[in-house]
Structure 1
């Protein structure tokens, strides 16, 4: 926790809002999407989906393939507690929906379904087809039930370890407009997934990395990703790191307060 506090204070020193942004693309993204205060009708489904999970007292056994949890000491966990402590916040879920809508995302990929709160935020836009991958069968089963209950038929849930599914996606020659990385908050795994999925990106794709300041290793991974020659624009919002590949742009890095 002390590490994250120091990281956040450093972030505040470097960060800015929309004022002084000299990239028209980033300025429009921040003002029209990040800072959009409109009450979108689709927020209701996202909120109901999340509240449904917050009221679920069932206990499941979680299989964790990633960096582990700082909250839970046991792998047997109540669903409501996972939704509260490990799930995406409502604020972030709304932003994820706005981003999907603003960038007109057709094809999306999510690494780490968990209970599917972020999945619902992406797929509530019915014109978006989402493939989401979850390694834990019991967690995925809860998400599957939720997808069916809320008629999110544009979600394809694949239950498997990431490596096998990513190899399959490469073989199937997928191209994605958006990839949300939220499954393994370790440096090497993050870099491996980034490199493996680069061929699935195109000029207008966006990669979103969760918890880029979770640990020293994740910060190192983020810095390596920023330096990659194919990466042109990055936005650090502290919780999330956004990566764009727009080759027509000068390489620039931004820290934006949300």
Structure 2
């Protein structure tokens, strides 16, 4: 029931590319997320794989072996490390785990299952409020976080 109500609330506030006034996010949405074709059946994993193809990261922190295997089918030359990374993947929003990520200005953090339950949603809200986080993209099925210093702090809710 929680997810159903959360999805209705999300849908009421979410927009498509026409509601985005950031050139960076507009390009991400139109040239990545809205490109036809599926790389995976699940929407969250499809977003992750399309984002990897779009941003072309070289280093990644991914705790889940299942996610690593899925990614390696699309991008074979990705260096998995725990040092400063271009891409990090979290299976759930977790503030403690999020704060361990070593990031740079262009790091992208993929967070899965942000609307699983109230605790996940609260953790997601805490992550969005962090000073180091400048741009977030809430896609309901997952979320993307950026640390771009040149961009004003903004939160987007995008329908996919």
State which of 43, 52, 61 in structure 2 corresponds to 1:109: 61
TM-score (norm 2): 0.91
**1:178 matched to which residue of 2?**
87
Check whether the contact 2:16–2:159 (CA below 8 A) recurs between aligned residues: yes
Cα 1:98/1:231, change in 2 over 3 Å: same
Cα 1:106/1:202, change in 2 over 3 Å: same
| TM superposition shift of 1:101 | 1.5
Runs of 4+ in 1 over 6 A off after TM superposition: none
5+ long unaligned stretches in structure 1:
48-88, 132-168
Larger radius of gyration: 1
State which of 88, 98, 101 in structure 2 corresponds to 1:194: 98
Are 1:127 and 2:80 matched, yes or no? no
The correspondence of residues 137-176 of structure 1 with structure 2, limited to 5 A, is 169=82, 174-176=83-85
Q: Answer 1 or 2: higher relative contact order, Cα 8 Å, separation at least 6.
A: 2
Check whether the contact 1:122–1:130 (CA below 8 A) recurs between aligned residues: no
**1:228 matched to which residue of 2?**
130
How far apart are the structure 1 equivalents of 2:147 and 2:48? 19
How far apart are the structure 2 equivalents of 1:16 and 1:26? 12
**2:35 matched to which residue of 1?**
36
Cα 1:242/1:37, change in 2 over 3 Å: same
5+ long unaligned stretches in structure 2:
none
Aligned length: 159
How far apart are the structure 2 equivalents of 1:252 and 1:195? 19
Aligned alpha-carbon RMSD (Å): 1.8
